[in-house]
Amino acid sequence: MHKCRARRMRKSGRSSAARIIYSMTDKTLELAKQLIARPSVTPKDEGCQQLMIARLERLGFKVERLRFGEVDNFWARRGTTAPLLAFAGHTDVVPTGPRGQWSNDPFTPEVRDGLLYGRGAADMKGSLAAFITAIEDFIGQHPGHKGSIGLLITSDEEGPSVDGTVKVVDRLTARGEHIDYCLVGEPSSHARLGDVIKNGRRGSLSGRLTVHGQQGHIAYPHLARNPILDFAPALLALVQTEWDRGNEHFPPTGFQISNIHAGTGAENVIPGHLEVHFNFRYSTAVTEDELRKRVEHTLTSHGLRYDLAWTASGKPFLTPAGRLVDAARAAIRDELGLDTRLSTEGGTSDGRFIAPTGAEVVELGPRNATIHQIDECVAVADLAALARTYRRVLEYLLA
């Protein structure tokens, strides 16, 4: 090939790639701004889902709006065959906190120094925007792609999570619709975009304990029973217990107290009862039933009179190396130049409702340094890079 012609082709290729990057930046940033501008504090959606639905319908998606209680959800699918790759996410955000402490109004998106500020920028309206633009670009290049693309979007992830993803999954399961691969847009990255992806999560088990004593005058303790003093040795035993040692995928199970309350407000009254709220983030090395039995045995062995109510908000899950993990790793390597790290750390996500159906689940999203904080933000460049990475995952699995 003539040298001049080769140089022209290389130059043309670079220009084409640059146009794609700039186009993806503009499209993803603009949609992220539109989503942030809607004050969708959980469980409100405030029209975010309709923004997404309008663009999906233009691409040939069949969309089902699914409202349960006060929660808006939708399930969208393009294609009827397997494999089905679903993107999962939420339009609801946590409350802003003191709005006067924000550098800008939290629902008036603003770009400063290459960062997009606003509530939900990182958790997770930036990911939602990247979902849409990645899918648009992928379908533009592969209109006859293999399998199916789905989106499962809720406005109940930051709330109690009872009328959102879990009910949509129940609906899909009841009619035999099976998700093969699920990419959740939770902010998984730490120091830089793509350095960490979550291929599992710990389980979450909470307890509300009431220890019963006998109220009385603090000067006559022999005529009362102080539930705080009764509980102290049991608390020490719970804190010092080794629940498990974890395993190659999960850290050891952790026990934490979130709230302790007792007293009438008077300094001279022994309280009649003590309320304790606690939580386990637990690994696959122990079961929910084992944790319950061990806690109750500890309380009983210390002679406590108590009531205990349990709430299980999710079992641990793990997606081992396979097609989805491999595709996510390869996409990150291609687009971001990183060898990503697999992790199961952190809190819970709606992946806990999807994994039990047999789907492979990974979480890949922006940096999590500012999520739920004042001045939440995401790098503008990361929005476009995330969209390109999502598109690359689509190419690996469905092109």
Q: Which residues are catalytic?
A: 92, 157
CA gap 326, 319 in Å, rounded: 11
| Cα(397)–Cα(399) distance, integer angstroms | 6
Two tokens, residue 202: 């710990």
Find the helix or strand (DSSP H, E) in which 148 lies: strand 148-154
3-state helix, strand, coil split of the chain in percent (to 5) is: 40, 25, 35
Half-sphere exposure of 59 (CA within 13 A, CB side): 29
Contact criterion met (CB below 8 Å) for 256 and 295: no
| Beta bridge mates, 311 | 206
Query: What is the CB neighbour count within 10 angstroms for residue 310?
Result: 14
Helix (H, G, I), strand (E, B) or coil at 192: coil
> For 334, what's the count of Cα atoms within 13 Å in the CB-facing half-sphere?
16
